[in-house]
Amino acid sequence: MLPITSTVAALAAVGLIALSVPVSLRRMQVKQAIGMGDDPGLLRRIRAQGNFIEYVPVALILLALAELRGAPQIFVFAIAGSLVIGRTAHAIGMMGGVKPLRRMGMMATFISLLAGVAAQFV
Protein backbone atom coordinates (compact mmCIF):
# COMPACT_ATOMS: atom_id res chain seq x y z
CA MET A 1 0.00 0.00 0.00
CA LEU A 2 1.32 3.42 -1.03
CA PRO A 3 4.59 2.12 -2.47
CA ILE A 4 5.75 5.49 -3.81
CA THR A 5 4.97 7.38 -0.62
CA SER A 6 6.61 4.64 1.45
CA THR A 7 9.77 4.82 -0.63
CA VAL A 8 9.94 8.62 -0.49
CA ALA A 9 9.23 8.61 3.26
CA ALA A 10 12.07 6.14 3.80
CA LEU A 11 14.40 8.32 1.73
CA ALA A 12 13.25 11.34 3.74
CA ALA A 13 14.10 9.56 7.00
CA VAL A 14 17.61 8.87 5.72
CA GLY A 15 17.84 12.46 4.52
CA LEU A 16 16.82 13.80 7.90
CA ILE A 17 19.49 11.71 9.60
CA ALA A 18 22.04 12.93 7.05
CA LEU A 19 21.12 16.53 7.91
CA SER A 20 20.91 15.96 11.67
CA VAL A 21 24.28 14.31 12.22
CA PRO A 22 26.27 17.34 10.96
CA VAL A 23 24.28 19.59 13.32
CA SER A 24 25.14 17.39 16.30
CA LEU A 25 28.78 17.09 15.31
CA ARG A 26 29.15 20.84 14.81
CA ARG A 27 27.45 21.51 18.14
CA MET A 28 30.07 19.32 19.82
CA GLN A 29 32.90 21.04 17.93
CA VAL A 30 31.84 24.55 18.93
CA LYS A 31 30.49 23.55 22.35
CA GLN A 32 27.03 24.99 21.63
CA ALA A 33 24.41 22.73 23.24
CA ILE A 34 21.38 24.94 22.50
CA GLY A 35 20.82 27.56 19.83
CA MET A 36 23.46 28.47 17.29
CA GLY A 37 25.65 30.99 19.04
CA ASP A 38 27.67 32.99 16.55
CA ASP A 39 28.95 30.10 14.43
CA PRO A 40 27.88 30.52 10.77
CA GLY A 41 28.65 26.85 10.00
CA LEU A 42 26.29 25.71 12.73
CA LEU A 43 23.61 28.12 11.52
CA ARG A 44 23.89 26.77 7.96
CA ARG A 45 23.52 23.20 9.22
CA ILE A 46 20.60 24.07 11.49
CA ARG A 47 18.76 25.86 8.69
CA ALA A 48 19.35 23.03 6.20
CA GLN A 49 17.84 20.61 8.71
CA GLY A 50 15.05 23.01 9.68
CA ASN A 51 14.08 23.75 6.11
CA PHE A 52 13.86 20.02 5.42
CA ILE A 53 11.62 19.54 8.46
CA GLU A 54 9.40 22.47 7.42
CA TYR A 55 8.64 21.28 3.89
CA VAL A 56 8.90 17.49 3.74
CA PRO A 57 5.96 16.54 6.00
CA VAL A 58 3.40 18.53 4.00
CA ALA A 59 4.76 17.20 0.72
CA LEU A 60 4.61 13.61 2.02
CA ILE A 61 1.01 14.11 3.12
CA LEU A 62 0.08 15.46 -0.31
CA LEU A 63 1.94 12.59 -1.97
CA ALA A 64 0.11 10.01 0.16
CA LEU A 65 -3.27 11.63 -0.53
CA ALA A 66 -2.58 11.72 -4.26
CA GLU A 67 -1.53 8.08 -4.25
CA LEU A 68 -4.56 7.06 -2.17
CA ARG A 69 -6.95 8.94 -4.44
CA GLY A 70 -5.56 7.23 -7.50
CA ALA A 71 -4.29 10.47 -9.01
CA PRO A 72 -2.67 10.13 -12.43
CA GLN A 73 0.84 8.70 -12.20
CA ILE A 74 2.28 11.90 -13.66
CA PHE A 75 1.18 13.80 -10.55
CA VAL A 76 2.41 11.14 -8.16
CA PHE A 77 5.82 10.96 -9.82
CA ALA A 78 6.01 14.77 -10.14
CA ILE A 79 5.44 15.14 -6.41
CA ALA A 80 7.86 12.35 -5.48
CA GLY A 81 10.59 13.21 -7.98
CA SER A 82 10.60 16.94 -7.48
CA LEU A 83 10.54 16.51 -3.70
CA VAL A 84 13.54 14.16 -3.67
CA ILE A 85 15.48 16.23 -6.20
CA GLY A 86 14.52 19.50 -4.55
CA ARG A 87 15.40 18.52 -1.02
CA THR A 88 18.68 16.95 -2.12
CA ALA A 89 19.70 20.01 -4.15
CA HIS A 90 18.68 22.38 -1.37
CA ALA A 91 20.61 20.44 1.28
CA ILE A 92 23.77 20.27 -0.84
CA GLY A 93 23.46 23.95 -1.71
CA MET A 94 22.80 24.97 1.87
CA MET A 95 25.60 22.91 3.39
CA GLY A 96 28.09 23.95 0.72
CA GLY A 97 27.00 27.54 0.32
CA VAL A 98 26.02 27.02 -3.35
CA LYS A 99 23.17 29.46 -3.95
CA PRO A 100 22.09 28.16 -7.38
CA LEU A 101 21.53 24.69 -5.90
CA ARG A 102 19.57 26.17 -3.00
CA ARG A 103 17.38 28.09 -5.44
CA MET A 104 16.86 25.07 -7.66
CA GLY A 105 16.05 22.99 -4.61
CA MET A 106 13.42 25.40 -3.39
CA MET A 107 11.84 25.68 -6.84
CA ALA A 108 11.65 21.88 -7.13
CA THR A 109 10.16 21.70 -3.63
CA PHE A 110 7.53 24.28 -4.58
CA ILE A 111 6.74 22.26 -7.70
CA SER A 112 6.22 19.15 -5.55
CA LEU A 113 3.81 21.06 -3.30
CA LEU A 114 1.89 22.56 -6.23
CA ALA A 115 1.71 19.18 -7.99
CA GLY A 116 0.44 17.73 -4.72
CA VAL A 117 -2.27 20.35 -4.53
CA ALA A 118 -3.23 19.86 -8.20
CA ALA A 119 -3.39 16.09 -7.72
CA GLN A 120 -6.18 16.55 -5.19
CA PHE A 121 -8.45 18.00 -7.87
CA VAL A 122 -7.96 15.63 -10.80
Asked if 8 contacts 83 with a C-beta cutoff of 8 angstroms, the reply is: yes
The pLDDT-based confidence of 50 (bands split at 50, 70, 90) is very high
CA–CA gap between residue 43 and residue 23 (Å, rounded): 9
Helices (H), the chain: 3-30, 40-69, 73-96, 99-119
Q: What is the pLDDT of residues 58-103, one digit of tens each?
A: 999 999 999 999 999 999 999 999 999 999 999 999 999 899 999 9
The share of the chain scoring above pLDDT 90, in percent, equals 85
Enumerate domains of the chain plus CATH numbers: 3-119 (1.20.120.550)
